[in-house]
Structure 1
């Protein structure tokens, strides 16, 4: 019986500890990226990857710390708080998934606006710029709907009054990488917005990233579903372990209370002589 309790306790501790270490690493990376930036950069949660890492890491760090310390010290108060927060997060995740399925058009519209906002702030934040470049290289895409979305950015705006050297261009991450190319041509996207799609397609990706990401998600539906299900199952596992440890602690406390009550009455009974006791003097 004691082995089962220890198994529950240390399994919960190890699960929380792993996420605790990961969240601490996220916070460290986010703080380092934030310090390394310039002073006048974008400081918005939706378009600042460094700030997003710090916030997500801090929330996860706090939640998993409650689980770690509560499991290790058998603190029912911390375990109950951890259990309540984790159940709330699980309900919100399930609600977000159901809402996203029922209101797909609204979600897609909001996602498109968010991605367009990121394009507008492309040169304002180094981390955001690197993130967009990575996505465009990874999914072989350019812009949100198509390559001409880059005209929304002040540096790439296709206008006769735009003094930028990158006017009517696209970032180098939109360019098609030639075979055996060893030197990266950062000017390969210059002037590509002025070309028609069938001509621009020869040197840059013209399909938007939103469409490519949707295609990737559909083609890798089993992978996405598997990762999502694994995360939810892990959360359910930690919820069950926390609930089991709380029940076990309460059971032990109840047994101790009952034992203390029995000992108390036994001590009281010892004050009285048994009935019909013999008091013969020697």
Structure 2
């Protein structure tokens, strides 16, 4: 029994082909959108690549870029096919192409869905990359004369000013590392201070960035009860929130595009099956049935499984025989033109 069958007249088939032609061109635009989203996401990640540890974060924008390019090609071809399907005679040139095209488009829509899910599932990976990346950036904050690290001080300061954050998880992270050039007993110069970029510019009091935990060093000051004029939020959480919002927005857009591509694919499938039934009936003006699957899901899965199983057995026979067609034939002896075996010689007693 067919899955979701519908009846289409000649007029309905022509209108469906015309609508699908327009929708395929719109899908080309959605492919450009996917490509643009991938480029945007890639640029945003590369902006702060120095603050992230090595990870597979680039896999998401790379996939969106690839899917966007493939969408443009597939939907351009789909528009041409649907345009020709208005004429039944032109459909004949695409008859053998449409089913492989639909199968390829189905797997393409799955890749679009995978891209959307990847946008929602990379929170943990992003958090880990930021945690270790910010830790290393803070550690090298003082190395302004070291090649390859001299720019990190500016990068961290810009981050803390722009995102109004301080440290990795909070301002106390700066107490645990040597962020100024100096030396102590064990080679580290630790103090309860933070860089100037941690100062809250909205505070009415001058910034207290050194001896933060020393109440006697400042007038009318108690660091435990008074609200410090520093940014309280850690930069890891600030960046995580920033990138999470971007990922969720991109993921939602990609999910909407997936639903749109799936609807176009469904329409192309109905058009293909209805036109094939027209060819079977031999009357271009007749009413024909269209469906998603000719049999039920279970029967279709069983049929495909049997085809794969038979193909596997066929490949095993070919491998075992090494291409010899006579490998399974019993050997036969040839005894001359009459094919009569000779008489055995008498044994001497």
CA distance 1:243–1:216, shift in 2 (3 Å): same
Q: Which structure has the higher relative contact order (CA within 8 Å, separation 6+)?
A: 2
Checking the alignment, whether the CA contact within 8 Å between 1:12 and 1:68 is kept in structure 2 is yes
Query: TM-score, length-normalised on structure 2?
Result: 0.45
Listed one character per residue, the Cα deviations across residues 223-245 of structure 1 (whole Å, up to 9, x for unaligned) are 99888656433322221212221
Listed one character per residue, the Cα deviations across residues 92-144 of structure 1 (whole Å, up to 9, x for unaligned) are 756996x89xxxxxx66x55432212214547699999997777556532234
In structure 1, how many angstroms separate the alpha carbons of the residues matched to 2:118 and 2:64?
22
CA distance 1:68–1:130, shift in 2 (3 Å): farther
Checking the alignment, whether the CA contact within 8 Å between 1:66 and 1:82 is kept in structure 2 is no
Q: Does residue 204 of structure 1 match 2:204?
A: no
Name the structure 1 match of 2:128: 113
Structure 1: unaligned runs, 5 residues or longer: 101-106, 180-187, 262-282
Checking the alignment, whether the CA contact within 8 Å between 1:151 and 1:157 is kept in structure 2 is no
CA distance 1:22–1:137, shift in 2 (3 Å): farther
Name the structure 2 match of 1:176: 200
Q: Does residue 142 of structure 1 match 2:144?
A: no
Aligned length: 231
Q: Does residue 18 of structure 1 match 2:18?
A: no
Greater Rg over alpha carbons, structure: 2
In structure 2, how many angstroms separate the alpha carbons of the residues matched to 1:144 and 1:86?
39
Checking the alignment, whether the CA contact within 8 Å between 1:8 and 1:244 is kept in structure 2 is yes
Listed one character per residue, the Cα deviations across residues 35-61 of structure 1 (whole Å, up to 9, x for unaligned) are x9xxx99994547xxx56862443333
Checking the alignment, whether the CA contact within 8 Å between 1:46 and 1:52 is kept in structure 2 is yes
Name the structure 2 match of 1:64: 71
CA distance 1:260–1:209, shift in 2 (3 Å): same
RMSD: 5.7
In structure 1, how many angstroms separate the alpha carbons of the residues matched to 2:18 and 2:234?
53
C-alpha displacement at 1:148, in angstroms? 3.3
- Indicate the structure with greater helix content: 1
C-alpha displacement at 1:146, in angstroms? 1.0
In structure 2, how many angstroms separate the alpha carbons of the residues matched to 1:60 and 1:70?
15
Which is further off, 241-250 or 80-89?
Answer: 80-89
User: Per the alignment, in what secondary structure is the counterpart of residue 73 of structure 1?
Assistant: helix
CA distance 1:178–1:251, shift in 2 (3 Å): same
C-alpha displacement at 1:205, in angstroms? 0.7
In structure 1, how many angstroms separate the alpha carbons of the residues matched to 2:64 and 2:251?
19
Name the structure 1 match of 2:307: none
Which is further off, 114-123 or 226-235?
Answer: 226-235
Q: Does residue 237 of structure 1 match 2:260?
A: yes
Query: TM-score, length-normalised on structure 1?
Result: 0.53
Checking the alignment, whether the CA contact within 8 Å between 1:27 and 1:53 is kept in structure 2 is no
In structure 2, how many angstroms separate the alpha carbons of the residues matched to 1:246 and 1:195?
69
- Report matched runs for 1:24-173 at 5 Å: 26-27=38-39, 44-46=54-56, 55-74=62-81, 76=98, 77-90=100-113, 93=116, 111-122=126-137, 136=160, 139-149=163-173, 160=184, 161=187, 169-170=194-195, 172=197
